[in-house]
Structure 1
Amino acid sequence: MRILSAVVVAVLFTAPALAQMPHINMLPEDKYKTDDEREQDKANQKAYKDSLSKIPDAKGSSDPWGAVRSDAPKAAAHPAKPKTKTGSAAKAGQ
């Protein structure tokens, strides 16, 4: 009776684990291609490469806000005057 209950417990523990395993077909049914299929694949690859070579190169900027922005931020015309400890601008003679 102990052996039977141990077997039942083992089966109950393995059932959820088997339900989580992916169902992957490790042996595909059509793993060999015929000569016609190989020629068709080569023709498809050649057509794909030819179509890629027909795509023009991007020449301009792809910045959608380029026309909205100004050319460049303006630099300060003159450097800021140094400030004293009190926060007022320093005079030239001091």
Structure 2
Amino acid sequence: MRILSAIAVVAMLATPAYAQISTPHINLLADGPTKTPDELEQDAIRDKAYKESLRKIPNAKTSSDPWGTVRSEPPKAATPAKPKTKTGSAQQ
């Protein structure tokens, strides 16, 4: 009984491998219809209109604060650095 179950397991494992080898290699992408010159022209017009519409969109300056929408108060502006004065014997 063990021998029969072992043979069945081997046969079940070998079936997918055999199916991959025995099928003919077919390229389905080459069989697709080609575009007519009118369709190519319409695609070119559509692409040109798309690129022109992208140029019309202004560049939005986004905030660099990822937590800006979470805070209840607006972020504080950076305070300007105070100029440092030298302390020494030369100044009086």
TM-score bucket (shorter structure): 0.3 to 0.5
**Bigger helix fraction:** 2
Structure with higher Rg: it is 1
* TM-score of the pair, normalised by structure 2: 0.45
* TM-score of the pair, normalised by structure 1: 0.44
